[in-house]
Amino acid sequence: MSADPFHLNRPVHLARRDVFYQKAGVLVKKLPGQKSISEQRKTAEQALYLLREARRHAEAANLSEKTSTQSRLFVNFMDTVIDNTLSIARMLRRQINANASDNPLDGFIGSTGTSAKMSGYYRRCGILILKGLLNMLQQAEKPFQALRQTSLAKMSVVDKARYEKAQKHFEELADGEAEKAAEFPA
């Protein structure tokens, strides 16, 4: 047993970090193939929830004295991924609002063309941010797998068993949590 009180739950936090980060990546990769703006927004909101949870648990795992420099860098990387995913979700929300028949842009400004132009701007901005995010996630695949392998290699047999049990549990839980979170976007 470690004298480090934060080490006790480290395997569980790492399992949740890993599962939620990977599931979020799968969702982000689905975005370009989705036709409906509403469907894209929901997927972006789900990915955003999973990323925020992954980051929260990465940070909790980093409270242990066994934290590596790579683990700390991963949290900073997660901030960038979360910010980009949030930007995409906001662009999609703005585009949906601009396309609505009762949109606030045309109502306040008194112009029917403003919302159409803004909808196009939001769409293009979202596409550019998504391209950058997809590139970042692709480049992060090898470093993330190396981080996972390093974390697992440092674990005791008991900690590995706890990690694997938690990982299996979170695999079953993650999709449902993300689905609920998308119903009430932040």
Upper half-sphere CA count for residue 17 (Cβ side, 13 Å):
25
**What's the mean per-residue pLDDT of the chain?**
91
Comparing C-alpha atoms, which of 92, 95, 101, 103 is closest to residue 42? Answer: 92
pLDDT at 108 over 80: yes
Judge whether 42 lies within some domain: yes
Model pTM above 0.85: yes
Predicted local confidence at residue 68, as pLDDT: 87
Q: What is the pLDDT of residues 147-174, one digit of tens each?
A: 999 999 999 999 999 999 999 999 888 8
pLDDT at 110 over 50: yes
Predicted confidence band at 1 (pLDDT cuts at 50, 70, 90)?
Answer: very low
Rg over CA atoms, the chain: 19
What amino acid occupies position 78? M
Average pLDDT over residues 101-125: 86
Judge whether 1 lies within some domain: no
Number of folded domains in the chain? 1
Q: What is the pLDDT of residues 53-97, one digit of tens each?
A: 999 999 999 998 778 899 999 999 999 999 999 999 999 999 999
More confident residue, 73 or 100: 73
Q: Which domain holds residue 77?
A: 10-180
